[in-house]
Every structure is written in C-alpha cells, then in structure tokens.
C-alpha cells in the first residue's frame, strides 16, 4: 500500500516518508490535480483520499490483543491502544480531516488556523506565518495527526510543529499531506526529524511564489469555490 523512502539519518533517528502509491489513491489524486474538477467534487475527493490515508496510518499504530465473545464462542481480536488527536490546518484541511475522522471515529479534534504571509519572506522560500486561532485538546502521550493537503515550502508546518512541541509531549506526531514539494519535505524533516510524514505525491518544483508545480492549485480555493 505504500513504499518507504529513507530521506536522511539525523541524531541516530531513522527518518522515513511513507509515500502512498496505491493505484486507487493515485487515481483520486489525478482527479484532484485536474483543473476541470469542480469544487464540490474536489471536496469529495479530498474526503475520500483522507479515508485511505487513515487506513494506512492505522497500520503503524499500537494494538492490543483482546478476546471477544461471538454468538458461537470466543475469538481473539485487536483493539487500538493509541489515543488519537487529529489537527486540521484551516481551511483547506477540513474535507481531508473529515475523511480521516471517518476511520478514527473516537479521535479528538483540534483546529489551527495558519496562513503564510505572502509579502514577508525570511528568505527565498521561508515565509513568515500568521496563526490567528488555535484550539486543541491535551496532546500529551497521544498520537497527533496534523492534516494539511499541501506541503510546499514547509514554513507553515514547521511553525505548527514547533508550537505543538513547546506545549505538549505527544507520543508520536504524524503529518498528512496530499502533494508535497521535495524542497518542503527535506526542510521539514531537517527541522523536525522525529515526525512521520504520509504523502501521496512529491513534486520537484516550486515557482517564484512558493507554490508547488505542477501541484493541484490552491486546495482551499478549489475546495470552497473561492478561486
């Protein structure tokens, strides 16, 4: 269902990207990339791909064996041990979060509103980021899944991760993106080598505005019909 790509080794930690290359997931991605896809369909595809990404995340969580009584006897089964918090990065993440929550139904939900400031760059591909709103549950000793469809320069995600780590001590942090730029992936894992990254596609280029090429456009605008 996915292939692991070893990106770098830092401080004796093995850093991997989980690239979800299942053909059906890639078919959904193709629909998301197409500029002819209308906004209502774009939202539906975001939610659907979120479901499949969550199934893949579930492979790497912790379970315990349990016994369950059936109508005819007793069977061995599994129960998820990890408490989960899903963090949606507003606004583009909302449909994708809906898909993830359809799998992790008992997860707590947090919201972080973040937007890079386009006309204020720290350097060529590092933007300042405004975070006007944040409402999250206790994340100590929990699996935290941070969802943002696009990982371009990684400026936004780096700052969100730094805020989360300053306040909480999660058991595990997972970042979910659909399309990432190679530059953003390398920068993110250099700054935060302890996270796990699930991504559907990695594109090689950023344009002069720091957008992924070919990418899929502005996911928020396309999902909410504000292009």
> Measured between alpha carbons, how far is 98 from 153 in angstroms, rounded to an integer?
25
DSSP state of 38: -
> Measured between alpha carbons, how far is 55 from 80 in angstroms, rounded to an integer?
13
> pLDDT tens string for the chain (227 positions)?
445 444 433 333 455 789 999 999 999 999 999 999 999 999 999 999 999 999 999 999 999 999 999 999 999 999 999 999 999 998 889 999 999 999 999 999 999 998 877 665 666 667 788 899 999 999 999 999 999 999 999 999 999 999 999 999 999 999 999 999 999 999 999 999 999 999 999 999 999 888 999 999 999 999 999 87
- Structural domain 3-224, CATH architecture: 3-Layer(aba) Sandwich (3.40)
Q: What is the per-residue pLDDT for 123?
A: 66
Give pTM, 2 decimals.
0.90
DSSP letter string, 190-208: HH-TT-EEEEEEEE-EE-T
DSSP letter string, 47-83: HHHHHHHHHHHHTTS-EEEEEEEETTEEEEEEEE---
Q: What is the per-residue pLDDT for 1?
A: 47
Tokens 């093995």 -> residue: 14
Q: Is 61 within 8 Å of 78 (Cβ atoms)?
A: no
Instruction: Encode pLDDT of 53-84 as tens digits.
Output: 999 999 999 999 999 999 999 999 999 999 99
3-state secondary structure 88-138: EEECCCHHHHHHHHHHCCCCEEEEEEEEEEEEEEEECCEEEEEEEEEECCC
> Measured between alpha carbons, how far is 183 from 3 in angstroms, rounded to an integer?
20
Q: What is the per-residue pLDDT for 209?
A: 85
Q: What is the per-residue pLDDT for 126?
A: 76
């Amino acid at each position: 269902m996915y292939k692991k790509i070893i990106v770098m080794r830092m401080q004796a930690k093995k850093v991997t990207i989980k690239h979800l290359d299942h053909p059906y997931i890639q078919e959904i991605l193709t629909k998301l990339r197409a500029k002819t896809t209308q906004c209502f369909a774009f939202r539906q595809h975001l939610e659907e791909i979120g479901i499949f990404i969550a199934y893949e995340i579930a492979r790497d969580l912790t379970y315990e064996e349990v016994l369950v009584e059936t109508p005819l006897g007793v069977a061995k089964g599994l129960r998820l041990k990890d408490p989960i918090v899903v963090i949606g990065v507003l606004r583009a993440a909302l449909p994708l979060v809906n898909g993830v929550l359809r799998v992790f139904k008992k997860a707590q939900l947090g919201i972080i509103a973040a937007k890079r400031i386009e006309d204020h760059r720290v350097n060529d591909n590092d933007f300042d980021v405004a975070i006007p709103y944040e409402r999250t549950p206790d994340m100590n000793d929990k699996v935290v899944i941070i969802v943002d469809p696009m990982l371009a320069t990684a400026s936004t995600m780096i700052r969100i991760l730094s805020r989360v780590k300053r306040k909480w001590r999660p058991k595990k942090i997972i970042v979910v993106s659909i399309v990432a730029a190679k530059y953003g992936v390398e920068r993110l894992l250099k700054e935060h080598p302890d996270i796990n990254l699930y991504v559907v596609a990695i594109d090689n280029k950023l344009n002069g505005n720091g957008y992924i090429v070919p990418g899929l456009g502005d996911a928020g605008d396309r999902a909410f019909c504000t292009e």
